[in-house]
Amino acid sequence: MRVWLLGWLLLATPLLAAQIDPVVFKALDDARAAEQRGDATTARLRLQAVLPASAEGSLERALLQQRLAYMAIDANDAEHAIHWLTESLKQRALDAEAQAQDRANLARLLMQQGRYQQAAAELALLPSSDATRQLQVQAYRQLGQFDKALPLAEQVVRQRPSVDDSWYQLLVGMNYELKRYTAAARWQQVLLQRAPERAANWRQLASLQSLAGEQSKAAATMRLAQLAGVGLSELDMESLVALHARAGSPWQAARLLEQLLRERLLNTTLERQRQLAQLWQAARDYPQALQVWLQVAGATGQPADQLKVAWLHYQQAQWQAVLAVIQGIQPTGAAQRRQLVSLRGAAEQALSAVQ
């Protein structure tokens, strides 16, 4: 646990010995010696034994509680570490630097335990720094307080555009969560400019552009990636289309696939045309789906493809067209025969009602 914490070592210097009660100083020294022997239990009991004798608000009590906190951290005991750091800070007896480091560590522990509201409160008391503000952004994000998280992150990158990538990744992620895809794409472009050799940056940008309804830009991004020698494969592009479909965005998936086929970034095949038609159908854009299924059925003549055409006419209440299509279908099994009977019956009944 301790690797991510800011450290503040208690040193047995003459200056410190002159500042605190000799009994407490000896207990701290004995505890350190016990820790060095690997006897954490003895160290903890030694500190706890003298703790009641220390006065509230004293340096002695703050040092004892601080030491107990860092021993709990070493033992991966987050709850006791939080307790002792909180108690130590209440004494307000340590110097400003030590208190700031302890408070930062307390905030990290609270974040680790999912106690984001308390973490945000502690972070608000710290001097402003990149590390502090990043933790604040993460805490607000977890709390769903994007009205606080986004402006803070944007302020950081405006003041220092050269900050670490993690800031831009936060901005991409938060805007994505809010479905602000255009803004997310804008920040993703910064990451792409910083590392154009990373294929993941190109894929992410194209995905966000597509989600924003800018499929032509997404296709252009993929073409630029190829020209840049990044080498996005057909599988990368197909995966991006599938990602939109799985995410419940069939309209974006269809638009993207259509654009990739138009730009010849993907070869047009019957299987891909079927996929495009199915995506339009899933998006309830029946005219577009019908147009593609007509092309597929015309190329294959297969009853299954012709039935798709008939069903799409049915979805749009085009009853005469339904009857015209099913006239030419030769079913290949019982299931297809049942579909034909159902379609014919529905179309004839609808026409009778109109007449």
pLDDT tens readout for residues 70-105:
999 999 999 999 999 999 999 999 999 999 999 999
Amino acid at 107: A
Confidence at residue 273, expressed as pLDDT on a 0 to 100 scale:
96
pLDDT bucket at 209, cuts 50 / 70 / 90: very high
Q: What is the DSSP letter of 4?
A: G
Output the CA torsion sign for 75, 77, 81, 84.
negative
Query: At 112, is the secondary structure helix, strand, or coil?
Result: helix
pLDDT > 90 fraction of the chain, expressed in percent and rounded: 69
Q: How many CB atoms lie within 10 A of CB 216?
A: 15
CB burial of residue 173 (10 Å; 0-12, 13-18, 19+): middle
Structure token digits, residue 351: 């026409």
> Among candidates 90, 87, 106, which has minimal Cα distance to 8?
106
Out of 61-65, 229-233, 246-250, give the one with best mean pLDDT. Answer: 61-65
Torsion angle, alpha carbons of 268, 270, 275, 276, to 10: 50
Q: Are 290 and 316 in contact (CB under 8 A)?
A: yes
> Among candidates 258, 168, 256, 257, which has minimal Cα distance to 212?
256
Residue length of the chain: 355
Distance CA(243)–CA(250), nearest Å, equals 10
Task: Report the predicted TM-score, pTM, of the whole model to 2 decimal places.
Answer: 0.71
* pLDDT per residue as tens digits for the range 270-299: 999 999 999 999 999 999 999 999 999 999
Distance CA(142)–CA(149), nearest Å, equals 9
